[in-house]
Structure 1
Amino acid sequence: MPETRPAPAPPRGLSAAGTPASGLQMLQGALLVIAVLYFGQDLLVPLVLAVLLAFVLAPVVRLLRRVRMPRSMAVVISVLLACAIIFGIGGLMGRQATMLAENLPSYQTTIREKLSGLQSAGGWIDRLSGAVQAVGHGMGSREDPAPVVSGDPVRPPMPVEIHTPDPTPIEMLRRVAEPLLGPLATAGIVVILVIFILLYREDLRDRLIRLAGARDLHRTMAAMDDAAYRLSRFFLAQTGMNALFGLFIAAALWAIGIPNPLLWGFVAGLMRFVPFIGVFITVSGPVLLALAVDPGWATLIWVLVLFGISEMLMGQVVEPMVFGHSTGLSPIAVIAAATFWTWLWGPVGLLLAVPLTVCLVVLGRHVDRLEFLEVMLGDRPPLDPEETFYQRALAGDSNALAEQAERCLKDKPLADYLDAVALPALRLAQADAVHGALRPERRDALLRSVELLIEDLEEEEDPVPPDGETPQEPIPAAWHVPGAVLCLPGRGPFDALAANMLGQVLARRGFGVQVGGVSAVPGAPPRLICLCLLEGGSSSATARYLLRRARRRLPGVPAIALAWSPDGGGESDGVLAKALRAEGESAPLQLAMNLAEALDLAVEASGTAPAPVLTAPAPRPEAPPSIGVAPAPA
C-alpha cells in the first residue's frame, strides 16, 4: 500500500488580503467604510489625528536618530515638544480670546457710532429700515382680529415662570468637569497613539503591505517608504509654512493696529488647512475689528489689502516653490473632499479634509486596485496627451487641439510634438477605423480638425535652443525649390495626414515640399521621395507597390520610407517596416520610424550636417500642400 503524505501547505504570498476583487465588492466596501467613518467618529477622529501628527513628527524623530539618540527617547522628546507647543499656543490663544471678550462692549459702541454716521450721511439705512417696518405693519393690519366668544374677547394667557433650584456642589463640579473631560481624554488618547505609531512604525508598515497586497516585496516596500516619506515631508512643510504665515499675519495686524493680533494670526495659520473658505473665515474677524477700532476706513482698507496680497503670494508663489506644482489634488476634488469630510466629522473633518485626501491620492498612486482614487482626486490629467488629442479631434474641437499644441510646443520642437502626441492619436483613430468603430461623420470631423491644426501650426515657432549650441547649417539653395522633396501618402485612412505633418516638419527646416501622388513624370523631378505610412493602415503589399510605382515614375531619385509605429521601432519592427526593409535590399532605401528620424535622413540626403531645430519657421512653398494626386511643379 503506497504511503500517503499530507499535501504541502501552499506558499504564503503577498497577494491582496484586504482589497476587494470586483467592482461590486469595491462599492460595497466603500459604503461600509463610509458608514464606519460616520458612526465611529468618536473612535476614529483621535486615530486620524494621531496618524497625521505622527507624519508631522516622523522627520523630527529621524533627525534625532541621526545624532545617535535611542528610538524611544527620540519619540518621547518629539511628542513632548509637540505637546508643549500645542498647549502653549492653546493657553496663549485662550488669554487673547478673554481679552477680546472684555473689550467687546467698547467695540460695539464704536461700530454703533460708525453706523450712525452712515445714517446721517446718506440716510439710506433709515429708508431701508422704514421700508421694512412699513411692510411689517401692512402684514400685521391684514391679520384677523382677536376671536370673540359669547360677545367678549378672549383674555390673554397668564405668564408662568419656572425657576430651577440652585445646583449642589456636586452638580456644579459635574457641569464644570464634563466639558473638560472629553477633550482631555481625546488629547491623552492621541498622545498615546502617536507614541506607539512612531515606536512601531516598521511593524505597521509591514501590516499595511500585507493589506494593500503586492507580489513583489521589494517594490511594495519601496513604494510604502516613498509614500510615507513624501507625506511626512508634505505635512511637516505645510505645518511649518502655515505657522510662518500665521506669525506674519500677526505681525502685520499688530503694525496696522488690530487688537489681539496673535489670536488672528493663529486663526490665519489654522485656516490655511481649510481649502477655499478658510480665507473668508480668517478675514472676517480682523475686518470687524477694523470697523470697531478705527472711526475712519483706513484700517479696514489696510486689512483687506494685507489678506488679498498675502493669500495671492502664498497660493501662487510660496506654495508652488515648496510643494512643486500643487498638493496633487484637483480643485474639484478639494471642494468635494471638504464637503464630504465636513459632513462626516464636522469642523474637525473640515480641517482634516486636505491631509486625508492627500493620503488617499498617495494610496491610489501606489496600490493598483485603488488607482481610481488618484484618477478621481488627483490633479494628473485623466487621459494621456494622445488620448486627449483623439477625443478633441473626434469632437471637432480644433480650438482645444490648438491650445494643447501651444502648450506642448513651448518646450519641444514640432517634430517631437507630432511624434509624441498627434501621430499616436492618429494611430488610435486608425485602429478604430480598421475595426469599424469609427463612424463616417466622426472621421470627417477628425480630418477637418487635424487639417485646421496643421494650418495653425504653420504660425508656431520652435522653442529657442540653449545658449552655446552650434548654429544650424542652412539647406542648399537647390533644396528650397518647391517640390524638391515629394511626400507620398500611403493608402491607409490617415496616411495623408501623416504626409502633411512630415511635409510641415521638412518645410520648417527649409525644404521645398510637395505633398501628393505621382500622376506623371514631372519636368523637373524631385530630389527626394518620402513615402509616409502609419503602421496598421496600409498592407505590406500596398506599401511595396507604392514604393515600386514611385521608383518607376521617378528613376534614380533616392527614397525614404516613414513607417511610423507606436514604439518608434524601439522593440521590434512592424509589418510595414519588415516589408520595406526587404524591399530596400533590391534598391537603396532608408527607413525612418518617426518624423524626427525622417527629418535627419532628409537633412543628410541634402548634404547638410544635422543641427538643432530652427527657432523660427522657414517660409512655406507658395502652393500649399494638398491631399491626393498632385503633380510635382516643373
Structure 2
Amino acid sequence: MGSDTPVGVETTARRGTALNPPRSARVTAAETPRAAMASPVVVGATIIAALYFGREIFIPIAIALLLSFVLTPLINRLRRLRLPRLVAVGVSVLLTLGIVGAMATLIGIQAADLAGDVPRYRATIERKIEGLRDSPVGHVTAYVANIGRALHNGGKEAGKEAAGAEKQAASPQPGPEQAAPPQKPLVVEVASTPPGALEMLSTVLAPVMHPLATVGIVFVVLLFVLMQREDLRDRMIRLAGSSDLHRTTVAMDDAAKRLSRYFVVQLALNAAFGIVVGIGLYVIGVPNPVLWAIFSALMRFVPYLGAVVSAILPMALAAAVDPGWNMMIAVAILFIILEPLTGQVFEPIFYGQSTGLSPFAVLVSALFWTWLWGPVGLLLSTPLTVCLVVLGRHVEHLEFLDVLFGDRPALTPVQNFYQRILAGDSEEVLGHAELILQQCSLSSYYNEVVLKALELAARDGARGVLTARQKGAMRTALGELIADLSDRGDAVTEAGGEGEAGACSPMPMGPAPDALSRAWTRPGAVLCISGRGFLDEAAAAILAQILEKRGLGVRTVPFAEASSARITRFGPGAARMACVISLALDGEPTHLRRLIRRLKDRMPDVPILLGLWLAQGEAAGRAGRGTERATQAEAQVGSLREAVEAVLAAAQQDPAAPDETGSKPVPDRGAGTARLSAPAEA
C-alpha cells in the first residue's frame, strides 16, 4: 500500500505512537509602524480611562502636587532658618490650611448674605425690565416674540381641532351609565413627625462631607509629598534616565524651580488681581465685594473665559442694585482696565516669558481637563498642562508633549523653509522669509537658513527620494523667492528681538559702491556660473544677488550656456572673475573638471573661484585637490560667506581700483578666505 505521507515530510514518531498532524511553518511577523503605534495609543487610552474613573483619587493628588510646588520656596526659606524639615513642613501646611479655611468661611458668609439680599433687588430688576420693554430694542423684541407666538399658537390650535374631530368621530355616544358623574375621591393627610437632632445634623453635614473629605485627602497627600520630596525626586530621575545623572539632575532641578516660580507668581498675581477688584467694587458700591474678589482671583486660573465670567456676575449684581446703569458701567470699566493691564503688562514682567503653552494647547487642555474632571479640571487645566510640557522638555520619552503643547516652533527655521519649498508653496516661503528678515540681514538669511535647507534637499536628492515634480516645484519656489527679495536691502537690523531668526549672524557688508573701480561695477564683471545640479542655479542666483547689492556688476550663467554643446558661443564679455557654484555633496570632481576646462579655454585670463558649498570633510578635500590639479582653478571656497569675502577681496586688491597700485596680488589659499587676482584691465 502506498503511504499517505506527503513527499518531503519526514515522520519521526516511533511505532505505536499516534502521529500528530504536521504543524505549518510560521514566520514571526516584523513589527510594522501600525503595531509600533498601537502600544502608545493603548497606554494613553488606559491612562485617560484611569484618570476619568479614578478622579475621586487623582484630583486630590493633582491639587496636592501643585500645592507642593507653591510651598517648596517657603519650606526652603524655613529650612535656612535651621528649622527641622518636619517643623517647616508642618508650619507651611498649617498656614495653607488656615488660608483655605478662612477663604471658605468668607465665601460662605458672603454667599449667605447675598442670598438674603436678593429679594430686595426684585423691584429694581422689574423696573429695568419694563424700561427695556419700552425702549426701541424692547419693541422690536416684543414684535418678533408676538410673531413667533402667533405662529406657534396657530399651529397648536389647528392640531387641537384636527385631534378633536378625530376623537369625536372615533368615540361612541355616551350611554346612561357613562353619563353618570364620577365620585369625589377621599382626601387623606399624612402627618409627619418632626425630625430629630441626628437627622438635622446629617441633613446639614451631608452637602459638605464630600468637600471636607477631599480637602482632608489633599492635605494628607501634600504632607507626605513635602516630607518625601527628595525620595520622589530621585525616583523621577531614575524614570527620566539614570545613564547621565548629572544632566538629568540639573534638568529636573531646573524644571522644579521653574514650575515653583511660575505657580508662586501666578498665585500672587491672581491674588493681587482679586484684591484690586475687591477694592474697586467696594469703592463703586457693589455689595459683597469680598466674595467677588475671591471669585475673580479663582477665575483667573481659567484660561480665556475666566476673566469674562468673573466680570459678568458683578456687573449683573450692579445692574440689580443700582436704579440706573452707572454702577454696571463702572464695574465694566474696572475689569476692562485691570484684565489687559494684568495680562499684557504685569504677567510678562514677572513671568519673564510666557507660560510655555501655545494658545491652541491652552484651549485644548481646558476642554480636555473639563471633560475629564469637571469644574475642578477647568481650574487646574493650565497648571497641569504646564507640568506636562516641562516634563516633555526634560524627559526624552515625553518629548511629544512639548511638541504638541509647547509654544516653541515644532520645526527649526531650516526645516520649516525646506518643508515649504518641498511643497512648492511660494506664498508661505515668502511669508517665512519676511518673518525672519525682520531681525536678520538678507545675506545672513541666505547663508544661515536657505543654504542649510538646500543641503537637506541635496541629501534627499542623493538618496533618490525626490521626484521630478518635487524638484521642479523647489526650483520654481526658490526662483520666485530670490526674485521677490531682489529689491530688499541687506542692512542688519539693530534690535535682535525674539523670534526664530535670532541665531542669524551678520554677513560683512563689503565696500561701498563708490570704492570699487568701474571695471568691477560694469555689468558682467563677475560671472556666477551654476553647476548641473538641480539646485545650483538657485545658489548661483543667491551669490549674484548678494554681490550685486554690494555694488558689483554681476551676470548669472546657467550650466546649459557653458555646456560642451554651446561653449563656442559663450563670451566672457567684461568679466573680471568667474565663480563656479555647485551644491553637490561629493563635489563631483569629474563634472566640475570638465566645466572649468571649458571655461579656461574660453577665458584664459579670468580667474575662476570654485564654490563647493555643501561638500564637507574628505569629499570636499578630494574634490578641491582633484579639481585644482586638473583644471588649475585659482581658489576654492566652502561656503557662501567665503565666496563673498573672496570676490570682495579680489575687487579691492585689483590694480585698477582707485586705492590700489602696484603688482598683481597672488592667490592666497590659506585657511578661510581665498584671495584671487584679477586680470589687468585692457
Q: Structure 2-normalised TM-score?
A: 0.79
Matched, 1:446 2:502: no
Partner of 1:573: 617
Give the aligned partner of residue 121 of structure 1: 135
Identify if the C-alpha distance between structure 1 residues 273 and 574 changes in structure 2 by more than 3 Å, giving closer, same or farther.
farther
- Tell me how far 1:137 sits from its aligned partner: 2.9
Q: Distance in 1 between matches of 2:524 and 2:383?
A: 61
Cα deviation for residue 164 of structure 1 reads 5.8
Secondary structure of 1:606's aligned partner: helix
Matched, 1:181 2:198: no
Find the partner of 1:368 among 396, 406, 409.
396
Matching of residues 95-134 of structure 1 within 5 Å: 95-122=109-136, 123-134=139-150
1:228 aligned partner: 256
Contact 2:609–2:633 (8 Å) recurs in 1: no
Structure 2 residue corresponding to 1:476, chosen from 516, 521, 546 = 516
Q: Distance in 1 between matches of 2:143 and 2:467?
A: 66
Aligned to 2:529: 488
Task: Give 1:186-335 correspondences, 5 Å limit.
Answer: 186-335=214-363
Equivalent residue for 1:35, pick from 38, 45, 49: 49
Give how far 1:22 is off.
Answer: 4.8
Q: Is 1:541 aligned to 2:590, yes or no?
A: yes
Question: What residue is the counterpart of 1:85 in the other structure?
Answer: 99
Q: Which residue of 1 aligns with 2:636?
A: 591
1: CA distance, partners of 2:317 / 2:554: 72
Provide Cα deviations, 1:247-305, integer angstroms capped at 9, x if missing partner: 22223333333322232222222112111222232122022123212333333333333
- Contact residue 85 and residue 227 of structure 2 kept, 8 A: yes
Distance 1:156 1:259 in 2: 57
Q: Does the CA contact (< 8 Å) of 1:490 and 1:538 recur in 2?
A: no
For 2:552, which of 511, 520, 543 is the aligned residue? 511
Cα deviation, 1:330-357, whole Å, max 9, x if unaligned, reads 2222222111111111111111111111
Query: Is 1:339 aligned with 2:367?
Result: yes
Deviation string, structure 1 residues 515-557 (Cα, Å, up to 9, x no partner): 1155456464422222211132762221233233333333243
Deviation at 1:595, TM superposition (A): 1.8
The DSSP-based 3-state class of the residue aligned with 2:617 is coil
Q: Distance in 2 between matches of 1:276 and 1:44?
A: 25
Deviation at 1:235, TM superposition (A): 1.1
**What is the DSSP-based 3-state SS (H/G/I as helix, E as strand, rest coil) of the residue aligned with 2:135?**
helix
Q: What does 1:2-151 correspond to in 2, within 5 Å?
A: 22-122=36-136, 123-141=139-157, 142-143=159-160, 144-145=163-164, 151=174
Contact 1:493 1:537 in 2 (8 A): no
State the distance in 1 between where 2:641 and 2:329 align: 58
Structure possessing the higher radius of gyration over alpha carbons: 2
Change (3 A) 1:407 1:581: farther
Larger relative contact order (Cα-Cα within 8 Å, sequence gap ≥ 6): 1
The amino acid that maps onto 1:440 is A
> 1:387 touches 1:425 (CA, 8 Å); kept in 2?
yes
In 2: Cα distance, 1:189 partner to 1:386 partner = 50
Give the stretch that moved more between structures: 518-527 or 64-73: 518-527
Summarize deviations over 1:120-144 as a string: whole Å, max 9, x none.
2333344344334434432442223
CA 1:599–1:288: 2 relative to 1, 3 Å? same
> What secondary structure does 2:652 align onto?
coil
Instruction: Classify the secondary structure of the residue corresponding to 1:219.
Output: helix
Partner of residue 602, structure 1: 647
Q: TM-score, normalised by structure 1?
A: 0.84
Residue identity matched to 2:140: W
The answer as to whether partners of 2:237 and 2:252 remain within 8 angstroms in 1 is: yes
Shift of 1:487: 0.9
Distance of aligned partners of 1:94 and 1:490 in 2 relative to their CA distance in 1, 3 Å threshold: same
Contact map agreement 2:443 2:490 (CA 8 A) in 1: no
**1:30-78, Cα deviation, whole Å (9 max, x unpaired):** 1111111111111111111100000111122223333443333222222
Aligned to 1:17: none
Alpha-carbon deviations, 1:467-516, whole Å to 9, x = none? 9x999642413322221221111111111101111111222222221111
3-state SS of 2:424 partner: coil
Name the CA distance, whole Å, in 2 between partners of 1:70 and 1:542: 77
* Contact 2:475–2:534 under 8 Å retained in 1: no
**Structure 1 counterpart of 2:604, one-letter code:** P
- Corresponding residue for residue 550 of structure 1: 599
Count residues in correspondence. Answer: 584
CA shift digits 1:344-398 (9 cap, x unpaired): 1111111111111111111121222221111122122222222222222233321
Q: Check the 8 A contact 2:441/2:492 in 1, yes or no.
A: no
1:535 and 1:87 mapped to 2: Cα distance? 72
- Unaligned regions of 5+ residues in structure 1, if any? 1-20, 610-633
Query: What is the Cα deviation at residue 577 of structure 1?
Result: 4.8
How far is 1:574 from its partner? Answer: 5.3
Name the stretch that deviates more: 131-140 or 592-601.
Answer: 131-140
Q: What residue ranges of structure 2 are gaps of 5+ in the alignment?
A: 1-34, 496-505, 655-681
Q: How does 1:419-458 map to 2 (within 5 A)?
A: 419-458=447-486
SS where residue 379 of structure 1 aligns? coil
Compute the displacement of 1:585 (Å): 5.9
User: 1:160 and 1:397 mapped to 2: Cα distance?
Assistant: 83
